[in-house]
Structure 1
């Protein structure tokens, strides 16, 4: 140190070096940052939102586009048969054929037909069940060829059909290649769906989009009542993937896109979106497996809550990083010129770590967000 004009007292410089070493220990960063994410995940789980990893919290905090499936997501997925029209056979018999044809499906519409039938289904009477994705099903019931599905299925089978003037999901029926009438089924919008859209707008989400395989009239009615910005109807599962990819291409900057769904058909879209959110109570196992976040009580208003939790968590993480770096660099400068002693060094290491950990614990308190 002589060439710098400084004293060659080894004891002083070794003390300064040890002080410098203690100050530079990154304990505050190494402990507080993962702990902030763990606390954020814990706080979210207390609110019924299961987050599968800390990286998903970071993505969720940047979400500006939210795309919804309709059935089972914005609606209860509890369908009720409201009418049977243009039936060429007895209404009860047409409903029986529909329930038997749909007996192998777990879709909410299929379940509603089985409930409306109200009797035990003898699966031995059904054979050759074939599900045509986005269209419906065909099967043999008591040796008769039965087709149950939307108008696309009728077009696919080249069977003329009758349009329905009522708003709802229309199940067209054909028996032995001839049109046999249609069944009108209506879904019920979840009580918090409209509030969920409003809360998302308050949370800074720029666009809310709904994708559904339902008829345009039904989709538009639901979207209008909920205040959704855009709606795309009569989509097959593959069409939903294409539409999400299209939205991913047009989104700006670091904005992220979340898809919210519940069915087995939603699994490819949940995987394709920046972040997938599944309904945990009524959702299919495939959707829950493919999703990054699961809403345990199927309440869509929890989506806005999850976004707020993620943003609070990230805000605390950045606070801890800033606090730790500012204190450490200030103490390092003081240590280099000999002003900082070992007590200040211990504060810069252990003290800042304790402060950062206490700050990270705030991520657990999310009740009032």
Structure 2
């Protein structure tokens, strides 16, 4: 990676979405700390050093414009992401018939996304104040949440794809494997596996004061080596391998769906199976689209010396970071458009009076026609479907 170049505005950045934010880019044997958290402003345009006053004024103006734009975008992402993901979790917990294996995985994804969006106010404040004012404890928490979100999200989406593959290609095995209880157990395993990264990150996260305060990771020496290894490992295990597994699963599913007209004994079940498979595919595709740019950017920055002062580089950098966060608020919107059950539960929560009237008339109709109960009926002791 690049080394030895002074930065005009040291900040922090995420290991999967970021770059060095200490006062100098790391070089062998020189700098014990590498500061890595997403949303850094080390990639801010800096003018020439010939006029010190002009340099400071221009830097402050540019930084302020970028900070205001990022804060506005992050505020929107935070509101939509927190509200949407909390509603998703509420729907899965509140309604018995929403407790399917797929929805248990969706709950896990919503939990990770809600935690990630909850850190955005702190990151916005960091941008506006050009320093990290929240102390080392919150630095550790925000850093850990960032990594947990990245790994739990992609691991959960990978398991959702495997789950759909089993449901479509091995329907007999699916009866034993695809249960809410086993999905919950897999979710716990995902968080434990992610802790192999999250806990060390929490331990290594520190604050460092130079002209301002930066929050980041303090790697062992040589820090430039461990920084590069971390970025490459994150790229491989949090992106390349999961995407490869997902691609194989959906490739096999597409072959199966094309070769068989009816996957199950009933057209209604078959339609439902294809609908859920399509929804999971769209969610996975959205994740890949949102995360590919930042992963590629990080690898390129690690291998090539990029001009940090170039306005196009700065714009692309912050756009990639924002795109990654946008994914955390996008999923609830996708559920609302692609899944009738989630759409109905969202409407029940937002319009409870109208929902009660509809539920009352629906219950009377069901009693006379013996139709099945609504998915969004309140939780009972009834055993949920797999």
| TM bucket, shorter chain | under 0.3
TM-score by structure 1 length? 0.24
TM-score by structure 2 length? 0.24
Higher helix share: 2
Q: Which has the larger radius of gyration?
A: 1
Higher strand share: 1
